Structure 1
């Protein structure tokens, strides 16, 4: 692939860019970190505006970017801080709906090009859904270019008033601490033993313990495979406001489920698993789904959001909120090793077609060059 230049044709200094992140989920934050590292490596000056906790977790400065603490709220103080941080930028790139709305406010009256990436669309009902539509309309009309991580998001952006909406190339960032164990089979067996899954199937789910992630459906589904011998163990990695509520159900209903909290070894967990489960209401490009297919772990996921486009026929897809269908798919796959092997092969082929980190950076940089190559000399 021909590298894309970070310089204008007028001999100006390297592009000065600001990436705006509103806190975001782990996938969005990891993408911004990957993008910042790739841009810096190509000579672009990058400043990441994000809450301090996001910098602490994702180390944007370690990627060579500057960091400015901007709280995720849209109060006047936060907007003013963002406006100051963007003062000398050649362009600004905001990630997520709320971060992009704050950026629109901060850039009001300025000609600075604004690129927006919509990574997903949080499900909402009633008054909140109406509020989100208003934000979407304001952002879509203000963005110079709007990138959507799924075709559905691109279509929505166009319907909402975007003048230039395109499909984003978003890669699954390689974990910075990833290292191959000297004895992968031994590491897998050791982890299964630590989790309590010796001599029984291990099912893994991961993600924030939030309502839209479908964890109650997941617990409902466990009743459908409790009749198996041996009984599968479901391990759920992640933290969130539903932890206490979910743990009470697990205890009261005596469910074969363990909540193991936030983990930094998601790849290892998946490689130790027999199946990965994703019951969420809708995600753009699910990190768990991508990690599962890369790891060669059969996946059962909901047919919602960007999942069908992301994984094609490389996983078992079930209706969102249908615990019986989820349980039936798990039971069927555990009893059908040939189908599991088929899904592993399909998953490998599907993952091979996803963008790499270099390709994602190259696409974004080509958009940047397109929007800045004719900027006048000052």
Structure 2
């Protein structure tokens, strides 16, 4: 087995030695983690690593793991015996297994019938209450203790892993993959300077040609903070002209939110699931992230890269991700959230400062090459034989 150095991509394996075989196990299907696995697979393959991605068929259709040069094996996201058996068969000749997410980590730990280096990346954390919260702690403890190295995408995830008994928990270098030249695009200019040809069209379609457009993106789930966001609308309803808030995302909370919007006659539109977030960002005046917890929010990264001033809750990994390049407010404080929006809409200088600071902050984030190099260093550490003293 040969691990090709990150310093010499495309280098062939020495004669008579086979390349490292790294199995990637995809977790719950979040867009961020799946895009990360595709980016990671591409970088590893380019550096001579043999990669197999275990993921459902629909994930392969969406992310085209085989397009990176990796092999794909269809494995369902369940812990039933057939799924575990399929995963065990793939891992039988693996030199290292890397699971992405809590549930992927659980499945992989069940499938590993022999001692093999086992890396787990926690990209986010699950939310549970009551008896389910106890079960969640037990799952986290099992996965954390099974991992040779557990990588967390934010410092609080690393702390959480350590509290669950992880032997070796570290901060992960995770880039925002940029298919097609950029997720969200943008060059750090203000809206007038960065709005592409689809910007005015999107504003017209949304009904915001002569009013500020506020954009939030995220699943319509309780912990995402959309209820607080609707409370905050009352704060900026006195602004002239009244801003329009659009929320892209789908989820179980939609009927409840729609009832409130109609009953209170709020200037809010629920857009459902959208594939055109970069275009929506190109049209937006402000981006809003009201979540109760985030790790490395893809939307926050897209907003800063696109040159859109961001108002976000100071939770989880958001403060370390955005630094001072966003307006940070306490979670659950509708007054603070609404007040930040009103202040920014009335302060063009502050908005432009945030745009410029956001471009600088985005430049500090890991690149995809740096992400692959970091993961390779972990693989190298775990797979190279320990020399005798």
| Residue number in structure 2 paired with 1:141 | 145
Q: Map 1:87-126; keep pairs closer than 5 Å.
A: 87-107=92-112, 109-126=113-130
* Number of the residue aligned with 1:253: 264
Which residue does the alignment assign to 2:159? 155
Q: State the TM-score, normalized to the length of structure 1.
A: 0.93
Give me the whole-angstrom Cα distance separating, in 1, the residues matched to 2:11 and 2:339.
52
| 8 A Cα contact 2:158 2:170, kept in partner | yes
Q: Where do 5+ consecutive residues of structure 1 fail to align? A: none
Pairing partner for 1:278 from 279, 289, 303: 289
What's the counterpart of residue 304 of structure 1?
Answer: 315
Secondary structure of 1:320's aligned partner: coil
Unpaired segments ≥5 residues, structure 2: 1-5, 187-193
* 8 Å contact kept, 1:300–1:329: yes
In the aligned structure 1, how far is the partner of 2:267 from the partner of 2:333?
Answer: 19
Matched, 1:233 2:250: no
What is the aligned partner in structure 2 of residue 187 from structure 1? 198
Partner of 1:367: 378
Match of 1:199 among 197, 210, 214: 210
1:242, 1:6 → 2: CA distance? 51
Partner of 1:19: 24
Say whether the 8 Å CA contact 1:19–1:49 is kept in structure 2.
yes
Equivalent residue of 2:176, what SS?
Answer: coil
Kindly provide the CA deviation profile for residues 141-185 of structure 1, in whole angstroms up to 9, marking residues without a partner as x.
11111111111111222232222211100000103486989x954
Distance 1:158 1:185 in 2: 45
- Provide, for residues 303-353 of structure 1, a one-character-per-residue CA deviation record: whole Å limited to 9, x for no partner: 111111111111111111211211111111101111111111211111110
1:76 maps onto 2:85 in alignment: no
TM-score by length of 2: 0.90
Distance 1:54 1:328 in 2: 40
Count of residues paired in the alignment: 374
CA contact (8 A) 1:123 1:282 kept: no
Say what the alpha-carbon RMSD is for the aligned residues. Answer: 2.3
SS at match of 1:235: strand
2:343 matches 1:332: yes
Alignment pair present for 1:320 and 2:331: yes
Structure 2: how far apart are the matches of 1:346 and 1:177?
Answer: 21
Tell me: CA distance 1:231–1:249, structure 2 relative to 1, closer, same or farther (3 Å). same
- Provide the rounded CA distance (Å) in 2 between the counterparts of 1:41 and 1:2: 11
Confirm or deny: 8 A CA contact 2:9 2:46 kept in the other structure.
Answer: no
SS in 1 for 2:97: strand
Aligned mates of 2:182, 2:143 — CA distance in 1: 37
Cα distance in 2, alignment partners of residues 30 and 135 from structure 1: 24
